Structure 1
Amino acid sequence: MTDTQTSRFRRDEDGGFIIFGLAVFMMMCLAGGLAVDVMRYETHRVHVQNTLDRAVLAAASLDQPLSSEEVVLDYFAKAGLGHIISADDLTIDESWVEKTVDGETQRVYTERRVGANLDLAVPTTFLRMADMTEFRMPASGAAEEAVSLTEVSLVLDVSGSMGSSSYSGYSKLYELQRAAKRFVNLMLCDPSDPDETSNCIVEEGRISINVVPYAEQVLLGDNLLSYFNHTAEHTESTCVTFYEDDFDTVGIPAYSASDFANNGRPLPLVFGDPVQLTGYFDPRRGRNDTPRPDAYSPCYNDYSGTSTDAWREVLAFGRTAAELRTKIDSLRASGNTSIDLGMKWGAALLDPAAQPAISGMIASGDVHEDFEGRPYNYSRRGIEKVIVLMTDGENTSQDYLREGFHSGPSGVYKANSSDDWSVYDAANDRYYWADGGQWLDHPYGEGEHEECSWTREYYGYYWWQYDWVESCDMVAEGDGATQLTFTELWREKTTAWYDQWSFLNDAAASFNYYEKNNNLDAICDAVKAEGMVVFAIGFEVSDSQDDIMRNCASAPSYYFDVNGLDISDAFAAIAREISKLRLVN
């Protein structure tokens, strides 16, 4: 080729657009292929995701009779996708309780969560030309269903002031009973009619209600108390003394009957410290009075002289409106006020630590089997724990025995053959004879002592002619003396009798208004920290108590300051608010 031809070829532009056109054509093919492959991918992804969503929703249903795994795999098989999923791709979490129906044990599911995670590959058609052989297609979905469950504690003031008249003209107790029964009807019978008592439409077993009456103390009743690890100085009453630190936590650990059968009461320290059974003692009567702990102890300070006040006892996990109305109707009014103790037990019966107690009461027939597993864990889906705290006044005083004065040797001796008492002074190693008013080296009854008397000895004719002469004899005191335990002593003597001796430490004390308010603040904070919802009702209370109760409530709007008939409106409003919480759950 000559230089002229080479130069001409270099300058010739014919056919240049063909090269550009080929390049554009290849890019158009690539773009079109990308669109086709993406369309195929998206079509497949939507098909898989829709199938997965429908499958897990059906599998999570609590009414589904088939196993969750079987349901999901069947959905995919019927959609023509059985080859892309296996049981290993599923996660299934379930909760249930077992019930006996017609002699057969059946599993009733209360919670089910079904999830599926797939990591699929969709092969490409056109993008293979760009060395892309597949698209990764992750797909996941989950569904859950949980029974909407509510646990409620009605903590009700039954102190003496509740017997006084309210602004309505009726007694405060009457207004409380009327309002509380309407609350129960709304919660357990008909949410639209507080006066409906027969044609109940609320499904039984979804809502449990504890009734916790409180005055100076809270009585648990023998059965409920038996599942808690308490000291065992006596069996006369069923209330517990809590100290300041006890109000910083909600739970009170309960144990099974077999734990106590195998280990005794209280349980060994490996189980934790026991709670203190309230002493059976008389803190009210004078030093020379016969003690009446059956009428004046903190557990029974209604002065009735009976220790069988069943109306005071806690009703745990009530199931029907009828049984709860019966309990509320039985309430009376007497005694001091301990809002902190009412709140402590109301909260403890919603804490999961009480589960062994409720299981035991189900076994004994005192709680319905629908409530097996309650109180549920705080993290359980669908659970709402609610406390309704009501008072008509303020904390007053609460008598108690100081630590160390419930059991063990008292240092007080009673003669075996007479009603003579001796008190030991450990600091000086001597005994004070309470009836003789003298100090000796032994308690009366364990030896002999010199007993002297003065007589006139006449020496003349006239009446004034005499001398006083002392004559002494050793007198045997009897057949011994017995040192009483503190438990035995409080049946014989009041705490005022014991506390009169200056060389002894006082056995009895009382928590005052300020201490009990601090306890109430502490337990309210602990309860709210666990996620419980607190409603509070101040029934014709003072401004200072108004603030205390408002601070206890979960929100300012959850506190109701009411008078007279308004208490029914407050309970009804709380019932409606609880229903809203259940729907949100």
Structure 2
Amino acid sequence: MMGRLFSRRGTAETQDVIREAVRPVVAARSVSSTLRMSTAKFVRADDGSIAILTVFMIAMIGGLAGMGVDLMRHEAMRTRVQNTLDRAILAAASLKNTQDPQTVVNDYFRGAGMEGALTTITVDEDLGYRTVTAEAIFEMDTLFFSWVGIDTLNINVAGTAEQRISDLEISLVLDVSTSMEGTKLGQLKTAAKEFADTVFDASEEGAVSVSVIPYSTQVSLGSTLAPEYALTTEHAYSACAEFAEADFSSTSIDPTASLQRATHFDPFTGSNTNPEIKSPICATTESQAIMPLSGSLDAVKSKITNLNAKGNTSIDLGIKWGTALLDPETAPVVQSLVSKGKLDQSFINRPASYDDSATMKVMVVMTDGLNTQQYRINDSYTSGMSDVYVDSANRSNIAFQIVKEECTKTYVSTGRRSGYYRTTCEDVTSYYYPASRNYSSNAPGGSRATQLSWVDVFGSMSLYFHAYGRYTMSGNANDYYHWYTYAMGGPDTSEKDTRMSAICSAAKDAGIMIFTIGFEIEDDYEPGLKACASSASHYYRVEGMEIAEAFNAVAAKLTQLRLVQ
């Protein structure tokens, strides 16, 4: 009983306690459940709005991306239209183009499927130039901008092309030293003639003058230019000039100032028996002489064709004369040659002044090596009379005069068993003939014998023949070296490099554009040529047939079309 009573009571009390304890938990669970139900109801109530917002955001992002695609299409199309217009006006502006310029532009756009895009084509042309201006508007259909009411995007392009062949004054300074013999000379000729073709073909008649300056040990003025300068008159064997170091700081050569004529002699070849000069330092043939200011393509190409290679290398002298023929101080020379009918009348005002904006002055310098010794006869043998005689009717009949004092003793009696010896001395003249190595009391040609000046000695026999003859006459080898090795001097490589640098700087400072071409040169030769050029892009180093590419590149730069807008 007690147990059951306790049990019932305990159960009731326990339930009350439990109920009190559980009430907060139940309440908490009720709140949580209520929140979950409320949230679910909220979500169910706004589910459509979120979906719409999401779709809108996706559409907006897609639209912006699509507009980006349209903009990229627009830029790509703009580039295509601009390139088409550029090509069209360049072709139309070419002075080689014989078609109507407007027709050319229209044809380009028609071929590109844009014939309706052109709005204006303007052509301005006269003798020596043509300018073509064009504008185009192209409508591009949009793919995505149309969503916002923009169905097309306009592409506006314009451009101006001009070919204006200014008056061109060109000096072609070409290496014809011995190292250019054979294949290299042939390759040079081909390249230089192609250069001439390009320049003349792209120019109006009378717009281009080309001077060809071949150089080796020296530069020959030839029969055309020599009379126009005040060369000294020691001889008339050849016409080359000597310059002092200071002369290379100036672009000009004053035609009225005294110009020292180079001594004529041959240090390169010779024979023991034949005095003939075969390789003088100054060429005597017109093919090796300067050709000044020619406006004839045929004449220029013929000049180049007839070049020969012989002698040392004097790049400094070639550039000195190349520069001088572009310098306004040469104008009196040109005017004189025009008046004599030796130059074209259209060149009467050339060389133009350096500030003439209508004239471009260009020098193209080509070499296969570096400066080498420039031989000169020593000053002690550039004047005065020698001991050498020749037969005036046969100048290969040469003898060295020998004058010796010969004395004889004669007994003079003064009485019986007395007397003395009288010594009588007199000059006895004989002649040594080096070709035959014989002595004779007779002068060459007898009454025709002519005494030579030292200038004429070296102008009429090779240095070797003369020196060897002195050796055979005396039997002393030192005489050979005295008359050969020590008889000549002249600027060496270092001196000539300094002079070359000076004249290149003077030319560039004056406004002359210089291109240099190193043809199969050694690495050591490159710095001087590169420094001489107007810029690094004006210098070309080539091998073999690449020389044609170099000359073609120079010609293209001189005649290329220019986009000016």
TM-score category of the 2 structures, normalised to the smaller one? 0.5 to 0.7
Q: What SS class does the counterpart of residue 378 from structure 1 fall into?
A: coil
Shift of 1:575: 1.1
| 2:178 corresponds to 1:178 | no
**Could you say what secondary structure the match of 1:154 adopts?**
strand
Given the alignment, which residue of 498, 504, 519 partners 1:539?
519
SS, match of residue 230 in structure 2: coil
Residue 176 to residue 374, structure 1, CA distance change in 2 (3 Å): same
Cα 1:369–1:487 shift into 2, 3 Å:
same
User: What is the TM-score of this pair, normalised by structure 1?
Assistant: 0.55
Following superposition, the deviation at residue 421 of structure 1 comes to: 4.6
Counterpart of 1:552 in structure 2 is 532
* Structure 2 contact 263–376 (Cα < 8 Å) conserved: yes
Mapping for residues 422-461 of structure 1, pairs under 5 Å: 435=402, 449-450=406-407
Amino acid at match of 1:277: R
Q: 2:543 & 2:372 partners in 1: Cα distance?
A: 21
In 2, Cα distance between equivalents of 1:491 and 1:376: 38
Inter-partner Cα distance in structure 2 for 1:150 and 1:215? 26
User: What is aligned with 2:264?
Assistant: 280
List gaps (5 residues or longer) in structure 1.
1-108, 111-145, 165-170, 192-201, 256-271, 301-306, 423-434, 436-442, 453-469
CA contact (8 A) 2:235 2:456 kept: no
Deviations 1:68-96 (A, max 9, x none): xxxxxxxxxxxxxxxxxxxxxxxxxxxxx
- Tell me, in whole angstroms, the C-alpha distance in 2 between the residues paired with 1:321 and 1:359: 21
In 2, the alpha carbon distance for the partners of 1:324 and 1:370 equals 17
User: Residues 208 and 318 of structure 1 are in contact (CA less than 8 Å); yes or no, is this contact kept in structure 2?
Assistant: yes
User: How far apart are 1:491 and its partner, in Å?
Assistant: 4.4
SS of alignment partner, residue 241 of structure 1: coil
Map of 2:178 onto structure 1 = 160
Q: Any residues of structure 2 matched to 1:287-326 within 5 Å, and which?
A: 291-292=275-276, 294-300=277-283, 307=284, 309-326=285-302
Question: What amino acid sits opposite 1:173 in the alignment?
Answer: L
Q: Distance in 2 between matches of 1:316 and 1:411?
A: 37
Task: Give the helix-richer structure, 1 or 2.
Answer: 2
Counterpart AA for 1:394: L
Call closer, same or farther: CA 1:415–1:241 in 2, change over 3 Å: closer
Q: Secondary structure of 2:514's match?
A: strand
User: Deviations along 1:19-52, whole A, 9 cap, x unmatched?
Assistant: xxxxxxxxxxxxxxxxxxxxxxxxxxxxxxxxxx
Offset from partner CA, 1:325-380 (integer Å, 9 cap, x none)? 11111122222211111111111111111111111111222211010011111122
Does the 8 Å contact 2:217/2:312 carry over to 1? yes
2:361 — aligned with what? Answer: 385
When residues 208 and 582 of structure 1 are mapped into structure 2, their CA distance, relative to the original with a 3 A threshold, is farther
Distance change >3 Å, CA 412–CA 210, structure 1 → 2: same
Rg (Cα) greater in structure: 2
Structure 1 counterpart SS, 2:375: strand
Match of 1:519 in 2: 499
Distance 2:241 2:561 in 1: 33
CA distance in 1, matches of 2:407, 2:398: 19
> How do 1:479-494 and structure 2 match up within 5 A?
484-491=452-459
Superimposed CA distance per residue, residues 448-480 of structure 1 (whole angstroms, 9 cap, x where no aligned partner): 63169xxxxxxxxxxxxxxxxx99875663699
Q: Distance in 2 between matches of 1:320 and 1:285?
A: 36
**Residues of 2 paired with 1:361 and 1:537: CA distance?**
31
CA distance in 1, matches of 2:561, 2:243: 32
Identify the range of structure 1 (548-557 vs 274-283) with the bigger mean alpha-carbon deviation: 274-283
Secondary structure at the aligned position of 2:490 is classed as strand
Give 1:353's match in structure 2, choosing from 316, 325, 329: 329
- Structure 1 vs Structure 2: percent identity of aligned residues? 34
Distance in 1 of aligned mates of 2:422 and 2:461:
35
* Paired AA for residue 153 in structure 1: S
| 1:320 to partner: Cα distance | 2.3
1:560–1:360 CA distance, 2 compared to 1 (3 A): same
Q: Could you give the per-residue CA deviations for residues 513-563 of structure 1, whole angstroms, max 9, x where no partner exists?
A: 222222211111111111111000011111111111101101011000111
Superposed CA offset, 1:138-166 (max 9, x none): xxxxxxxx9931100011111122224xx
Q: Deviations over 1:172-207 (max 9, x none)?
A: 112111111111111101x4xxxxxxxxxx311111
- Asked if 2 retains the 8 angstrom alpha-carbon contact of 1:149 and 1:582, the reply is no
In 2: Cα distance, 1:295 partner to 1:583 partner? 54
Q: Distance in 2 between matches of 1:547 and 1:485?
A: 43
Amino acid at match of 2:553: A
Q: Report what 2:53 is aligned to.
A: none
d(CA) in 2 for partners of 1:569, 1:419: 52
1:583–1:513 distance in 2 versus 1, CA, 3 Å: farther
Partner of 1:212: 213
Judged with a 3 Å threshold, the aligned counterparts in structure 2 of structure 1 residues 567 and 287 are, in CA distance, closer, same or farther, namely closer
* Distance in 2 between residues matched to 1:155 and 1:397, nearest whole Å: 19
- Structure 1 vs Structure 2 CA RMSD: 3.7
Partner of residue 428, structure 2: 477
What residue identity is the alignment partner of 1:218?
V
Equivalence map 1:505-516=2 (5 Å): 507-516=487-496
Distance 2:291 2:398 in 1: 43
Kept in 1, the 8 Å contact 2:279–2:310? The answer is no
1:242 matched residue in structure 2: 243
Give the Cα separation in 1 of the matches to 2:422 and 2:563: 92
SS at match of 2:231: coil
Q: 1:245-256 counterparts in 2 under 5 A?
A: 245-255=246-256
- The CA distance in 1 between the partners of 2:374 and 2:561, in whole Å, is 36
The number of residue pairs the alignment matches comes to: 359
CA distance in 2, matches of 1:406, 1:529: 36
CA contact (8 A) 2:386 2:457 kept: no
TM-score, structure 2 normalization: 0.57
Which residue, 395, 398, 404 being the options, matches 2:374?
A: 398
Q: 1:401 to 1:383 in 2, by over 3 A?
A: same
